[in-house]
Each structure stands twice: as C-alpha cells, then as structure tokens.
Amino acid sequence: MRFLKKVEDKVKRHAEVEKLLHDPAVSSDPAQLRDLGREYRALGQIVTAYQAYRKAEREMDEARKLADDKTQPADLREMAAQELAQLEQDYKRLDHDLEKLMVQDDPMQMKNVILEIRAGTGGLEAGLFAGDLFRMYQKYAGTCGFKLEVLSSSPNEMGGYKEIIASITGEGAYGKFKFESGTHRVQRVPATEAQGRIHTSAVTVAILPEAEEVDVEIKTEDVRVDVFRSSGPGGQSVNTTDSAVRLTHIPSGLVVSCQDEKSQLKNKQKAMKILRARLYEKIQAEYNEKIAGMRKNQVGSGDRSEKIRTYNYPDRRVTDHRIGFTQHNLEGVLEGELEPFIDALYEAELEKQANS
C-alpha cells in the first residue's frame, strides 16, 4: 500500500469529524454542519475500504500460518494454501480500490457541477454535436443518480446549440465529470453536407465545481444587473417582457446572461449560480498557478483548449488522447456509457501519483 500513512490519517480524521458532528456548536451552524457531513460521508468510503483491507490482511496471515504448519494434516494445509491464493487476489484488489479512493479523495470531488458546452469550429455541425454531447452527459448524469437542470441555452436553427449551460447536482458530481473539460472533436458526415464528405468539428466543454456562498462572496455593489427582452433563433421574440438578465461582475469583468426562464427572478438566480462558479474557477486557477508543480500529477491540464477526445463515426471509435484509451462503442458512449473512460482516467492519475 503506497498511501498507507495517508489512509490512516483519513481514518483518524473520520473519527474526529464524527465527534464534531455531535458538538452542539456545530449543529447550530448549518454551513459547517453541511460541510462536515459531506466530509464524513466521503471519508466513510475510505474507512470501509480500509477495514476490508485490514480484514483481508489478517485472514491471509491466518491462512499462511496454517498452510505452513507441518503439524497439520496435508489435506488441511492444501485447503489453506488454496484459500490463501484466493485471499491474496482479494487483497490486491482491495489494495488497488483503496489507492483509487485516495486519488479521488479531494473535497472538490463532492461538489455539484456547472457544465458549459460551446460549439467551436465547424459551424452548424459543431452546434449539432454540442447537442449530442449535452444529451450524452444528461444520460450519464442520470445513470449516476444526479439531477441535471439547464441554466442557459442558445439553440441554433438546426436543433443544436451555440452554447448550453447546465447544473449537475449530486454528491460526487465533480469527481465523475472533472475529466471532461477540454476540446471534444467529432469526425463524421454532417447533416448539412450534401456530398457525403467527412468533416471534423469541435466543441469545447468546461466543468466547473459549483460554488456556494461560503466559497465565493459576491458583494451586491460589485455586480451590475441589466435586464432585456429574451429572443430566440433569428431574433424572434420569445417574451414580451424584460425577463432576460445580464450580470456583470465589475472587479473581474466576468459577464453572464440568462434568458431561459419567463421569470426575471429565476433568470437572475440562475445567472448568479453561473457567475459564482466562474469566479470560483478563476480563484482556483490562480491558486493552481502558484502551485503549478501539482499539474504534473494530473491527467490533462483541465484547459478547455486542450484536445482531449475524438468521436469518429465511420470507425465507431472514441479515443481519449490524454491516455491513449480507445473504445469501438460510439453509440454506447453517446448513450451515456462513459464509465470505462472515467475509470481509465482515474487509473492513469493513480499511476502518475504513484510514480511522482
């Protein structure tokens, strides 16, 4: 076990958090209670895996002693040797599972997600693929038991999207989606192509951990609020009232617009959620710049300009370029079967951390 000391520290922390959760001072603070509860549940997975790991270790020792005990009958020793072989396999699996949990152990992992998908090069075809990716993530979120809600969208005339932003809510959402940031490339014959030629288009995906008010403080005086009339594709009026909202965060220059809801208040709430997430990402990016050495231990930079995956329709192939992982299961992947890619990316991250 390469992370045994770290694991034991987590087990101790789990016991500490359990005591804190019974502290009246904590129970009277909703924000602290929420954060500690989240940490306790995350650490609980490590504790359970650690207990199974130690149990397998003890059972292996017992089986080994019996197999090596010359005073025991030969058939009993043989049975113990067979049991030992099975226990050693189980032990290796438990060791690997525990290491994987340690790689995934990060307070950020448990956060909700703001998903941003934007059409890049490829015109209308890129917009259509943006819609395909959105549906893929929608289905994957469903299989994980997460709730997806569209916050803002800009459809194009072909039924795709110039941009679509959604929140994905559920404990561990960021841990499942964090590797998806980057440029996704599609190679196929576009619906807009009459000659049957294969085109390459690109879509950018950003995965932002959703920030809560305790993570990012936004002062009222720092935000300019503009309202305007919603409009659909081609400028067609969608709403006859000024329900669309544009928020400008003056210190950072970040601008967020939202017009999907008929209610100005709901649009403002959704826009604020997006603004808070983008500010949080900006703060995290600045922090990561200060500790840039950590980047070498991560799979991919998380930069949305980095080409991370290609979806090739003629070969039914999906390739993740960061780790050279390929599956010839394009239809399944687009139906939300992303788990093999997520698992492979975590395996690669585990290997990088072990070798660093």
309 and 186 in a common domain: yes
Same domain, 151 and 112: yes
The count of structural domains within the chain is 3
**258/228 Cα distance (integer angstroms):** 10
Give the neighbor-by-neighbor strand order of the sheet with 254-258: 223-228, 244-249, 254-258
Chosen domain end from 70, 105, 140: 105
Single pTM value for the model: 0.71
* Alpha-carbon gap, residue 63 to 76, rounded angstroms: 10
Using CA atoms, how far apart are residues 11 and 13, in angstroms rounded to an integer? 5
162: in domain: yes
**Residues 190 and 206 occupy one common structural domain:** yes
**Are residue 134 and residue 150 in the same domain, yes or no?**
yes
Same domain, 28 and 62: yes
Say whether both 160 and 205 belong to one domain: yes
Last residue of a domain, one of 105, 136, 153: 105
Q: In terms of domains, do 335 and 192 share one? A: yes
> Are both 333 and 347 inside the same structural domain?
yes
**310 and 203 both lie in a single domain:** yes
Q: In a structure prediction context, what are the per-residue pLDDT tens digits for the chain, which is 356 residues long?
A: 567 888 898 899 999 999 999 999 888 888 788 888 888 888 888 899 999 999 999 999 999 999 999 999 999 999 999 999 999 999 998 988 888 787 766 667 888 999 999 999 888 899 999 999 999 999 999 999 999 999 999 998 888 999 999 999 998 899 899 999 999 999 998 876 667 788 899 999 999 988 876 678 889 999 999 998 876 544 444 555 678 999 999 999 999 999 888 899 999 999 999 999 999 888 877 756 654 443 344 455 445 567 999 999 999 999 999 999 999 999 999 999 999 999 999 888 877 776 66
Distances (CA, A) of 204 to 62, 255, 336: 54, 18, 18
Same domain, 159 and 277: no
Boundary residue ending a domain (289, 312, 335): 289
Is residue 294 in some structural domain?
A: no
| Domain extent for 47 | 4-105
- Are 200 and 57 members of one domain? no
